[in-house]
Structure 1
Amino acid sequence: MNNKGVSPVIGVMLMLVATVILAAIVSSYSGTFAPEEKTPTASFSAEASYNKGYIKLDHISGDPIYKSAIKIRVETSRPATSGYVNMSNVSFTPDPTYLKPGDTAYIYFTKSSVYGERAVFTGPDIRLSVAVGDKFRITVIDSDTGNAIWSSELILNP
C-alpha cells in the first residue's frame, strides 16, 4: 500500500479549512463597524445688513444643505457670547427645505436701538446682540455629525 499521496491532500484540506475560518472571522469582525457619517461641504458668500434686518447667505458651491439637518451658531467677542439661532428665524429660497448652489438663506434678527443700532439674535439658548460695525462669526453646523459645514467672520453693515 502506498500512502505517500495522502499527507499532501490532508495538508491542502487543512489549509482550505483554516482559510475559510479566517475569512469568516474577518468578515464578521469588519461587519460590526458602522460607516462614518459624512459632513456635507458647501461654500457661501455672506453679508449682514442692519437696515435690511437679516444676514444673507448665498450658496455658491457644494452639497445641498437641508434646513432640518443644520444648526446656525452666532458668536461675538464683545462680550464673548455664542449660541444657536432659532431656526424659525431662518428662511431658504426658492425651496424652503433645502439650499443648493444658486439658492439663498436669510437669517432674520430683531433690530434694537437701545445702545446704538444693534442686531439682536434670540433662540432657545441664545440672546446676544451685535452693534453696527462690529465683527461676529457665523457657523453653519451639520446636526448629525456636529461638524462645521461653513464658517465666516462678518461685519454688521448699516
Structure 2
Amino acid sequence: MLCVLNPRKANMQTLKNWDLWGPLVLCLTLATLLSWFAPYEQKSLVFASVFVIVCCGATVVTVNALLLGGNISFFQSVCVLGYCIFPLNIASVICLIGGPLIWRLAVVAVCFFWSTSASLGFMGELVPTNRRALAVYPLFLFYTSIGWLILIAARTSPYS
C-alpha cells in the first residue's frame, strides 16, 4: 500500500511479497461504497458489477501483460492492480459526499492518474520496451471504467 501511496519509492523487490487479501478488501470496499447509494432494487447489481469489473479487468490486464512477454506471475500482477485501486476508493468517498459535477470530475481524474501512474510504475518495467503501449492501453481502460462507475454512482448520491 505504501508503494501505491508513493510510487516513486516503489521497487521491484516489493512485488515478491504479494498477497491477495489487501486487493480483495479494496475491491469489496469500492463495491460497498458504490452500492451504498444505489437505489434499493439495484444495490446487489451494483455491488456484483463492481466486483466483477475489478476482478475480470485485473485478469484481462494481467493476461495481456503475460502475452506481451511480461516477466511477472499472475498473482503478483493481480495484487499490484488491486492495490492500485486505493486512490479510486478515495475518489469514491469524496464523490459520494457530494459537490458539483466539475469537482467530482476533477477528483476522479486526479485519482485515475494516480492509480494509472502507480500501476505503470510496476507494469511498465515488466513488459518489453517495444510493447509497453500495448500493455498500457488495457490499464487505461480498466481504470477508466472504474472511474466512470464512481461518477455514475456519485450522480445518484442523495448528497450531490
Q: Could you say which TM-score interval applies, normalised by the shorter chain? A: under 0.3
Higher helix share: 2
* TM-score under structure 2 length normalisation: 0.23
Structure number with greater Rg is: 1
Higher RCO, Cα 8 Å, sep 6+: 2
